[in-house]
Amino acid sequence: MERQRSFSVKSTRFLVFSFTISFFLIFITFFSIWVVKSTPSISIYQQTHIQLNQSVFNLTLKPFTVQSLTDLKDFQREKNDTEVRDNEVNKPTIGTGMERAPAVAPSIEIEIQSEERIEEKKKKKTRAATVEKIEIQLPSNNQQIQKKEIGTNSVRKIEEKRTRGCDITKGRWVYDESYPLYTNSSCPFIDEGFNCMSNGRLDKDYMKWKWQPQECDIPRFNATKMLESIRGKRLVFVGDSVNRNQWESMLCMLMGAVKDPKKVYETHGRRITKEKGNYSFKFVDYKCTVEYYVSHFLVHEGKARVGQKRVQTLRIDSMDRGTSRWRGADILIFNTAHWWSHYKTKAGINYYQEGGQVLPRLDVSTAFRRALMTWASWVDKNIKPSKTQVFFRNSAPSHFRGGQWNSGGHCREATRPLNKTSSFIYPEKNVIAEEVIKQMKTHVTLLNITNLSEYRIEGHPSIYGKKPDKRFSSNSEDCSHWCLPGVPDTWNELLYFHLQSKQHEYNN
């Protein structure tokens, strides 16, 4: 029994082993046959798919390249958009990554060719743009000649042109620590009425405001240049005490360029006071004079008989008798306005005279116009424009509050400029002066300082127009004139600007 069981087990194992060997041999045989038969078809399949993929890549990548470079119009013409879309629809899409691999080389070749053409196109466009730019920038012959004439002065001339077209009367006051242009101690020519600091004024901000026009800059006053421009000449101020205010300012500003103060003196040995009306200061090193002649109205102040009385009159048809002193001046600065607001001139009763007749009554505006026409006629007849530059400074505003100069008006509480002047009305006398100047044959430059001075309520002497021991001898304050240094310095900077502009215009 044991032998039979052993034999049975062995025969079963043998059968299983034989069956496995046979199955393996059969599998190997069939697999070898399949491999041999399938090898050509795989090659053909791969070749077919390579060609297909090349075609798909060619057709697909070309539109991509064109879309990314839309500025190349010639390249767009090579393939019609409709034909490209039809080819994309009919061709099979790319499948796996193995299928894309053979198609990389052709697509790179196309991209390289496209980049070469792109670079060529870019170079052409760059050359065309350069030529166009050169054509735009190249001036005409006349422009080239003009540029040569400008030369190194082109920047300065452009700046002058910009400044000439600028309205310097419109702007604002800017606090500037570099001001004032002089001090009370450096200028011995400030009379008591304008020397606010010496009279006890403690705040100093009123001296540090600079006028800044809206559309341009005016040059800072240069004393050396100003003296050089008037070398050997006469600079003459004619008018009321406000013009004396400006004249004193000019003397002080010019002293900044004087090395030896002893070489500046009054030719008659006079000391500046309110009483004396005529002054001529000589600057020895520059052989020039800076002069002032009082003339409240520019026309003749006299007396005439009215009934049994001799009364003061104003000859509005006859010039001031001091005209012989002004005639030879090289620069003349006139003004009149301050005294036309006094009681007699405003009332106009038995005051204005024409010829031998004293007019019983005449409106002050009419009288002012006739007086200015008399002045204008004298200028046209006696001033040679080739020698003399003529200026007319319009009225400087007063800032009395609570009354007039003789009725308790004051401005002592003001320490800063006004923020706005909305209630300011341009004076009628300024309008009349401008109308008369426009009718003159002689060119007269209007020195318009009214609006810019209107902001400077704090610039007046107020109670500091007198020494402390004299301050309370009268209740009146001075809110008409101006402290020095102060606002009149700006008037002279505007005068300097006009003179420099005229000098440049003459040289060119």
φ/ψ (deg, to 5) at 445: -90, 125
Distance CA 272, CA 79 (A): 98
Q: Is the dihedral of CA 115, 120, 123, 128 positive or negative?
A: negative
* Given the residues 296, 410, 460, 481, the one annotated as active site: 481
Has 478 been annotated as catalytic?
A: yes
Distance CA 398, CA 427 (A): 12
Task: Look up residue 287 and give its two tokens.
Answer: 């052989």
Distance CA 414, CA 400 (A): 11
Distance CA 264, CA 189 (A): 11
* Given the residues 300, 478, 480, 489, the one annotated as active site: 478
Helix (H, G, I), strand (E, B) or coil at 174: strand
Strands 389-393 and 331-334: parallel
> Helices (H), strands (E): how many in the chain?
15, 13
Distance CA 385, CA 217 (A): 28
> Are the C-beta atoms of residues 416 and 448 closer than 8 Å to each other?
no
- Count CA within 13 A, CB hemisphere, residue 392: 24
Has 481 been annotated as catalytic?
A: yes
Contacts of 471 (CB under 8 A, 6+ apart): 199, 200, 463
- Residue 234 parent element (H or E): strand 234-239
* Residue ranges with strand state E in 285-327: 288-294, 299-306, 309-319
Has 240 been annotated as catalytic?
A: no
Distance CA 459, CA 374 (A): 33
Q: State the burial class of residue 261 (Cβ atoms within 10 Å of its Cβ: 0-12, 13-18, 19+).
A: exposed
* Given the residues 241, 249, 395, 453, the one annotated as active site: 241
> Are the C-beta atoms of residues 227 and 275 closer than 8 Å to each other?
no
R_g of the chain, CA atoms, integer Å: 49
> Are the C-beta atoms of residues 367 and 352 closer than 8 Å to each other?
yes
Q: Which of 331, 265, 338 is nearest to 295 (CA)?
A: 338
Distance CA 48, CA 43 (A): 8
Could you list the active site residues?
Answer: 241, 478, 481
